[in-house]
Structure 1
Amino acid sequence: MKFLKTLFWLFALAALGAAGGGAHWASQPILAPGQPAVEFAIAPGSGLRSVAEQIASQDIALQPLLFEALVRLTGKDGQIKAGHYALKPGTTPQRLVGQLVRGEFAQEALVIIEGWTFRQMREAVAASPALKHDTVALSDKELLAKVSTDYAVPEGLFFPDTYLFAKGASDLQVYRQAHAAMLKRLQQAWEQRDLSLPYKSPYEALTMASIIEKETGQKTERGMIAGVFVNRLKIGMLLQTDPTVIYGMGDKFQGNIRKRDLLADTPFNTYRRAGLPPSPISLPGNDALNAALRPDRTDALYFVARGDGTSVFSSNLPDHNRAVNRYQR
């Protein structure tokens, strides 16, 4: 029976080839040079004829009967994978068959920015029209449970990067990719850490990295800022960093920190509580991770912004006060 079906399609292709160019047709680009790529979708459970018709229905100049014959004669019938695809200029029917069999889906991208909070990441994921939104109704705790059972809160546990995925993929795939990437980068940085650091765990280092990420956009200063904070931790000095206060204020923060905000006793107010806050406050990038785990060696305990994006570092309070008077007051 299989031989008779093959023979039938062989005759069919030969007959169609006599009229439409057969082998020549299979090796010619489907889209003319200069045409934009065309996206199309193959529905799950589609038979071969339905696949050919779905492609042709997207204004793609593909002869369904010829394409069906080509697939059958190459022995790929039943191997085509459902999903979203992009037909690019230069793609021939032969190449298209391989693309469908290998599942070379259309790639979409989502950018997660360094320094974002997990809330901002969720907003970006939810706004992506290319994703299937399986987590949008979940709480942060419920979402984290689907990614990891090792942590209580999701903040800081997702690496900021550009993530590629097949159009229509579950948003959970992006969260899992970003979480795995963060664990890998954190472990690599931890293994290369300065052994004199006061961190008790990689999670504490991640928390420090998240603070460094928010303290400065100057990559060249991250090592020094990390050195200041490490020096403070070692002597039991308060970190006194504004980004943790802002994070603890949540929606109450309206652009300015007031004196009463610095006096409010919250878990994230490092002006009131010693040591690191209970969790990260942002999604740190690679530079912040490296700075937290290999900080610059310095005797500085203070720094103040100059106003041009750089900072002045001081090892004693009188020098720091003079720098504050010069650049802040």
Structure 2
Amino acid sequence: MNLKKIITIVSVVLISVLMIYGFILIRQIFSANTKFADNEVYVYIPTDSEYEDVKKIIAPYIENMDRFETVVNKRDYAENVKPGRFLFTKGMNSYELVKALRINVPVNLAFNNQERLENFAGRVGSQIEADSLSLLTSFKDSIFLKENSFTEENVLAMFIPNTYEIYWNTSAEKFRDKMIKEYRNFWNKERVEKAKKQGLTPIEATILASIVHKESVKKDERPRIAGVYLNRLRALMPLQADPTVIYAIKKKSNDFDQVIKRVFYNDLTMSSPYNTYVNLGLPPGPIAMPDITALEAVLNPEKNNFIYFCASVDRFGYHEFAATLEEHNKNAKKYSDWINSQGVKR
């Protein structure tokens, strides 16, 4: 056999080997390599994770780890692990899986009507990597509070209830900084001027809005209630808002899970800076996180001459309003008689 034939045979053999190897490699890369039943799953890679950590996290979702690692080695993923939230879809091949681990998918973080900073930190901590303690610490940071004119009592006013797109691995400090930016965006020049026309700062407007929010679930009634409270503030009358008393009771007992359906006369005299029956003006901070409709109600209140209101017996969820104490006492007696007939004790 001459040299030319030998070279030809060797070449054919090499090409065949390369073709087989290439076929195997293509199969490894482009064959489906998932083993979860759902159409999609999210995997969460914590900050500072290394490749071995990633393998443990994704192992329940990968059919063949060897095939996956073939692509990992070729794509230099092991040296370039990214933290975050990543989307795997059913039937992804190894190449697509590695590619997916480089695309951090944000979460739609939502919150509303939290009564305390601690509850809020817990709510946020259940949706992003930062835990509730680190979030709470960042919210109460004295330097941050001073720089942004907040106190521990009123910093809850900084958070505007909404749904925000944010990366899961956002740190507590970066989340807090995003929230102060959103706060400043919300309190634009127009809203600040509207608050000023009512004799309020943005923080004061938020505190009042938290009371309005708690007074009524009926959004169409909130501008009227806001108008009543503003009438009382201008007349230098106590706000006499039952929700502030309820908040004071919860705060004193440190039990914010309790449900209080009725406020008694003895409750109205309790000593607390949040009790607006014994203190003039606004409490030192929000009694809850008001939603945007309550904020807008304070900024755009109904102009009326009402000074009093109480829950309506005839229109459940709404209130009866009065301009005189005599009229109010009639409404209040009607409601008191009704609630006594229902046997509501607390």
TM-score bracket, normalised by the shorter chain, equals 0.7 to 0.9
Q: Classify 1:60/1:77 alpha carbon distance in 2 versus 1 (closer, same or farther; 3 Å).
A: closer
The answer to whether the 8 Å contact 1:206/1:289 transfers is yes
User: For structure 1, which runs of at least 5 residues remain unmatched after alignment?
Assistant: 1-11
Matched, 1:314 2:315: no
Q: Hey, what's the Cα distance between the residues in 2 that align with 1:238 and 1:55?
A: 57
Matches within 5 A, 1:257-272: 257-272=263-278
The answer to whether the 8 Å contact 1:314/1:320 transfers is yes
Q: Hey, what's the Cα distance between the residues in 2 that align with 1:202 and 1:167?
A: 30
Deviations 1:74-109 (A, max 9, x none): xx88555244533122544444444333x414x556
One-letter amino acid matched to 1:21: I
RMSD: 3.8
Q: How many Å apart are 1:246 and its aligned residue?
A: 2.6
* Partner secondary structure for residue 217 of structure 1: coil
Q: Which residue of 1 aligns with 2:3?
A: none
Q: Which residue of 2 aligns with 1:6?
A: none
Q: Which residue of 1 aligns with 2:209?
A: 209
Matches within 5 A, 1:191-202: 191=192, 193=194, 196-199=197-200, 201-202=201-202
* Partner secondary structure for residue 219 of structure 1: coil
Matches within 5 A, 1:1-329: 16-21=21-26, 26=29, 29-31=32-34, 35-38=38-41, 39=43, 41=45, 44=48, 46=50, 57-62=59-64, 63-68=67-72, 70-71=74-75, 79-89=80-90, 91-101=92-102, 103-105=103-105, 107=106, 111-114=110-113, 116-125=115-124, 128=126, 131-133=129-131, 135=133, 142-143=140-141, 145=143, 149-150=147-148, 151-153=150-152, 154-163=155-164, 165-167=166-168, 169-187=170-188, 190-191=191-192, 193=194, 196-199=197-200, 201-249=201-249, 250-252=251-253, 255=260, 256-307=262-313, 308-329=316-337
* Partner secondary structure for residue 309 of structure 2: strand
Q: Hey, what's the Cα distance between the residues in 2 that align with 1:203 and 1:320?
A: 30
Deviations 1:56-87 (A, max 9, x none): 73441351353136526xxx885552445331
The answer to whether the 8 Å contact 2:248/2:275 transfers is yes
Deviations 1:257-294 (A, max 9, x none): 33333224432222222222222222111111111111
Deviations 1:1-55 (A, max 9, x none): xxxxxxxxxxx99764322435xx64555447954434364874746xx699567
Q: Hey, what's the Cα distance between the residues in 1 that align with 2:307 and 2:30?
A: 69
Deviations 1:163-222 (A, max 9, x none): 5554555445544444443443234662462763122x2111111111111111111111
> TM-score of the superposition, structure 2-length normalised?
0.71
Q: Hey, what's the Cα distance between the residues in 2 that align with 1:32 and 1:166?
A: 26
* Partner secondary structure for residue 57 of structure 1: helix
* Partner secondary structure for residue 198 of structure 2: coil
Larger Cα Rg: Structure 1 or Structure 2? 2
Q: How many Å apart are 1:160 and its aligned residue?
A: 2.7
Q: Hey, what's the Cα distance between the residues in 2 that align with 1:173 and 1:158?
A: 14
Q: Classify 1:208/1:41 alpha carbon distance in 2 versus 1 (closer, same or farther; 3 Å).
A: closer
* Partner secondary structure for residue 161 of structure 2: coil
Residue identity over aligned pairs, in percent, reads: 24
User: For structure 2, which runs of at least 5 residues remain unmatched after alignment?
Assistant: 1-16, 338-346
Q: Classify 1:281/1:129 alpha carbon distance in 2 versus 1 (closer, same or farther; 3 Å).
A: closer
Q: Classify 1:296/1:13 alpha carbon distance in 2 versus 1 (closer, same or farther; 3 Å).
A: farther
Instruction: State the number of aligned residues.
Output: 307
Q: Hey, what's the Cα distance between the residues in 2 that align with 1:33 and 1:259?
A: 60
Deviations 1:137-185 (A, max 9, x none): 9669745655774211233322233455545554455444444434432
Q: Classify 1:189/1:113 alpha carbon distance in 2 versus 1 (closer, same or farther; 3 Å).
A: farther
> TM-score of the superposition, structure 1-length normalised?
0.75
Deviations 1:226-277 (A, max 9, x none): 1111122222222111122232341338735333332244322222222222
Q: Hey, what's the Cα distance between the residues in 1 that align with 2:36 and 2:75?
A: 24
